[in-house]
Amino acid sequence: MWRQLQVIAGNKRPIRPPHPDPAREAERLASSFATRTCTDNLPAETCDRLTELLPARNDQVDRACEDQSNTNTSLTLLELRRALKTSGDTSPGADRITYSMIINAGSDGHSALLTLFNASWEACKLPSKWKEATIVPIPKPKNPGAMRPISLLSCVGKTMERIVLNRLTWAVGPLHQDLFAYRRGMGTTECLSTLLCAASSGGTTVAFFDLEKAFELANCRVILSLLVRKGVCGRLLIWLKDFLSGRAARVAFQGETSQLHQHENGTPQGSILSPFLFNILMEELISLPLPPGTKLLCYADDLALTGPAHAQRAQNLLTDITTKCRELGLKLNVAKSKAMAFGCDAPRAPLYILDTPLSWVTSHQYLGI
């Protein structure tokens, strides 16, 4: 419908001319997307902190993998049917198997699929093909020279992910109330309403900041250790550990396909589990102890810190957030960070993130508004 309206209005998207060497461009893009997941993209202080905390995190995860859990039981046909009910058709992965094919496979096909899933579950390993993505690069509307990666994964693998996600959601329980993305009944409207309600009291300072390459650089070992603290253990934890390791992607561009490139970090784009796993990481950040009247709101990688217009208190909180980001392997995007004052003048004392002063603005686009 939207595409038809655009055509009627004459707002046609310009056709991208063919690349003179699409095979070479596919390799370049694949290498570029893989490079974005490298730990070297993080500041040296963050890398050092991650290295310092790694032994304790590894030990924590390894011990939890040996624990018994109610989630260790075999996957059931009821869980498979439940997963298929919420699976709408999307572009398939390299195996070309669509959700419609899986849904219409019949009882024999579903039984065979469940046998495959339980083999993966009991071995705590995924078939390597399920961890290989095909990336289709899409030009960004406002910057056609830049490409947005659209990742296509096996629908068979994503069906099992949905079963695992249901178990994981049950094991973890409710998430933080100020975490708004990828949650049923919560979204941008609820996040903005909470922010405006907090700011409407007057005499309020709001600091907006987001995280650079947050999804690509999400540290898998940190996520696993946070899951352990949430009570995840046993087979579920081991399976997730394998799910997050050994990820790779190729790029399909103008009829050519690149070689596979390994991805070092990140929650896999296009997967069913990734939004929940990313939220686990962000929940740890926004769970910092805050003084009364202060909130740290999170929608995906966009953060908003709101509280009384008290410069020193705000600076202390920004310092705490910076320290926590180092521990979690997150990189603050200082260039996009801004501050606003509601119902009062901006404090004379500047606020800093990583020794860089925040720009005070009178308007700011947050969550597209």
Which has more pLDDT, 265 or 142? 265
Beta strands in 35-193 (DSSP E): 132-140, 143-152
Strand partners, 340: 206
Banded model confidence at residue 10, pLDDT cuts 50, 70, 90: low
CB atoms within 10 A of CB 8: 8
Exposed, middle or buried by CB within 10 Å (0-12, 13-18, 19+), for 80? Answer: buried
Give all strands (DSSP E) within the chain, no chain letters. 132-140, 143-152, 204-210, 248-253, 256-257, 261-262, 295-299, 302-308, 338-342, 352-353, 356-357, 359-360
Q: Could you tell me what percent of the chain has a pLDDT over 90?
A: 68
> What is the C-alpha to C-alpha distance for residues 261 and 31, in angstroms, rounded to an integer?
7
pLDDT band at 210 (very low <50, low <70, confident <90, very high): confident
pLDDT band at 2 (very low <50, low <70, confident <90, very high): very low
Mean pLDDT confidence for 22-27: 93
Question: What stretch of H or E contains 302?
Answer: strand 302-308
Distance from C-alpha of 56 to C-alpha of 28, rounded to nearest angstrom: 37
For 103-123, write each residue's pLDDT tens digit.
Answer: 999 999 999 999 999 999 999
193 to each of 201, 324, 366, how far by Cα in Å?
Answer: 13, 26, 12
pLDDT digits (tens, 9 = 90+) for 176-187: 999 999 998 899
pLDDT surpassing 90 at residue 98: yes
* 19 found inside a domain: no
Only one residue has tokens 């810190």, namely 305
In a domain? residue 4: no
The sign of the torsion formed by the CA atoms of 124, 130, 135, 136 equals negative
Strand 359-360 with 356-357, pairing? unpaired
Q: Across residues 255-284, what is the average pLDDT?
A: 96
Q: How confident is the model at residue 334 (pLDDT cuts 50, 70, 90)?
A: confident
Read off the pLDDT band of 12 (50, 70, 90).
low
Which pLDDT band, with edges at 50, 70 and 90, does 286 fall under? very high
The yes-or-no verdict on residue 255 having pLDDT over 60 is yes
The pLDDT of residue 288 is above 80: yes
% helix / strand / coil in the chain, to the nearest 5?
45, 15, 35
Q: Is residue 367 domain-resident?
A: no
Q: Give yes or no for residue 41 having a pLDDT over 90.
A: yes
Domain count for the chain: 1
CB atoms within 10 A of CB 223: 22
Residue 15 lies in a domain: no
- Secondary structure of residue 116 in the 3-state scheme: helix
Segment 63-94, tens digit of pLDDT: 999 998 889 999 999 999 999 998 778 889 99
Beta bridge partners of 204: 308, 342
pLDDT at 158 over 60: yes
Tell me the average pLDDT of the chain: 90
1: in domain: no
Whether 317 is in a domain gets the answer: yes
Mean pLDDT of 158-183: 96
Range in 40-54, 256-270, 344-358 the model is least confident about: 344-358
- Give me the pLDDT at residue 101, please: 95
**Phi and psi at residue 306, in whole multiples of 5°?**
-125, 140
Cβ neighbors of 264 (< 8 A, separation 6 or more) are 34, 37, 38, 39
Return the biggest CA–CA distance within the chain. 71
pLDDT tens digits, one per residue of 305-317 = 988 877 788 888 9
Domain contains 2: no
Is residue 22's pLDDT more than 60? Answer: yes
Using DSSP bridges, classify how beta strands 132-140 and 248-253 pair: parallel, antiparallel or unpaired: parallel
Q: Does residue 124 lie within any of the structural domains?
A: yes
Structural domain for 200, as ranges: 24-360
| Integer CA distances (angstroms), 85 to 80, 91, 104, 168, 312, in order | 9, 17, 12, 18, 52
The helix (run of H) or strand (run of E) holding residue 77 is helix 77-85
Structure tokens given for 278: 């990313």
pLDDT tops 60 at residue 8: no
Residues 6+ apart with CB under 8 A from 360: 338, 339, 340, 341, 346
